[in-house]
Amino acid sequence: MQSRKCGNTTQSRAIAGRIVRAIPREALLLAVAAIYLLPLWWVTASSLRPAGSLYQYAIPISWRTFFPDELTLANFANIFAKLDFGQAMSNTFLVSAITVALGLVVNSMAGFALAKFDFPCKRLVFVIILVTFIAPFDAIVIPLHQVVSDLGLINTRAALILPAVGNGLAIFLFKQFFEGIPSELLESARTDGASWWRVFWQIVMPISLPAIATAAVMMFLFQWNSLFWPLIAAFSSRFRMVQVAVATQIAADQTHWANLFASAVMGSLPPIILFLLLQKRYLKGIAGMKGE
């Protein structure tokens, strides 16, 4: 595995043997890198290519297929100027920001109740909360449309925000974090006469920044990445969300490749940046990884 690090003491024959044995593994690593890198690289490179030369180097394949000889941001300027992509992005940021703000309050409170209180039917409540996040949201979207429609909220921003505020994953993350806070800390504040409300906001939340950050990222990504619900809940272009903008564009505009490349890149940038910045916390949140 670490053939390159062998010391001088090892016989050259043994080194050669190790190198030969490492070849299949190296080949596999290279294949994995290619399978994942090629599509991402190609789309990014193409998004930076002048729209006129997009098809020119597509086939036959050459190094020019992956390295544009001329770089431009014109495609990005175009989707913002002509396709209202900017509006979709700012709308999504606004919807996500409100969802995250409300969601942090509501879900942290629920996580606190589950972590620090005993009450009747606690297990049942917790299991229901878990099921609401284990079951994919898209499964509920069509009947949800009926419910929101009865409220008269279809085609409003509230329709995009409200269903996403209560978030089982965020509740679960908060619960787990709060369980690590010693109860004695809270009890002593209680005996000093502080209400549970004050204990929560003045003692618990200020020391829970890691959980707040993880939950905020999860809720932001939920909104940024969702397609099905915004597609049917808010059809007016004023409320269009990013994924809907990307999806409806490929349907309407199959031939306009330059725009598709640029909007695919714009649609993935915020999640990728967030993931790269908060990788460890994020993976701990979803997969329960301990990290190094």
Partner 1 sequence: MTSRDSKAAVAFLAPALILLGFFRLWPAARSLAESLRGWSGAEARAFVGLANYRYLFQEDPVFWSSVQVTLKYAVIASPITVAAALGLAFLLRGKGRRLSFLRTLCFLPSAVSLSVMAVVWGLMLDPYYGLANSILKRLGVPPQPFLSSTNQALACLILIAVWRNAGYWMMFFLAGMESIPKEVYEASALDGASSQQQAWRITIPLLARTMSFVLVANTTFNFVTFAPVFILTRGGPIGSTNLLMYEAYKSAFVYLDPGRAMAMSSLTLLGVLILSIVQLKLARARFEC
Interacting residues with partner 1 between 160 and 179 (CB under 8 A): 162-163, 165-166, 168, 171-172
Within 49-108, the residues that bind partner 1 by CB under 8 A are 54-55, 58-61, 65, 105-107
Min. distance of Cβ 127 from partner 1 in angstroms?
A: 6
Min. distance of Cβ 91 from partner 1 in angstroms?
A: 16
Q: Does 285 bind partner 1 (CB under 8 A)?
A: no
Residue with tokens 């020119």, as numbered in its chain: 56
Decide whether 12 or 292 has the Cβ nearer to partner 1.
292
List the structure tokens of 250: 């490929």
Q: Does 112 bind partner 1 (CB under 8 A)?
A: yes
Within 230-249, the residues that bind partner 1 by CB under 8 A are 231-232, 243, 246-247
**What residues have CB less than 8 Å from 188, skipping those under 6 apart?**
none
Max alpha carbon distance in the chain (Å)?
Answer: 79
Residue among 208, 200, 202 nearest 110 (CA): 200
Q: Does 274 bind partner 1 (CB under 8 A)?
A: yes
Min. distance of Cβ 80 from partner 1 in angstroms?
A: 17
| List of long-range contacts for 182-188, beta carbons under 8 Å, 24+ apart | 183/116, 186/116
Within 7-46, the residues that bind partner 1 by CB under 8 A are 25, 28-29, 32-33, 35-40, 42-43, 46
- Residue 179 CA to residue 114 CA, distance in Å, equals 9
What x/- string results for residues 190 through 219 when contact with partner 1 is judged by CB under 8 A? ------x---x-------------------
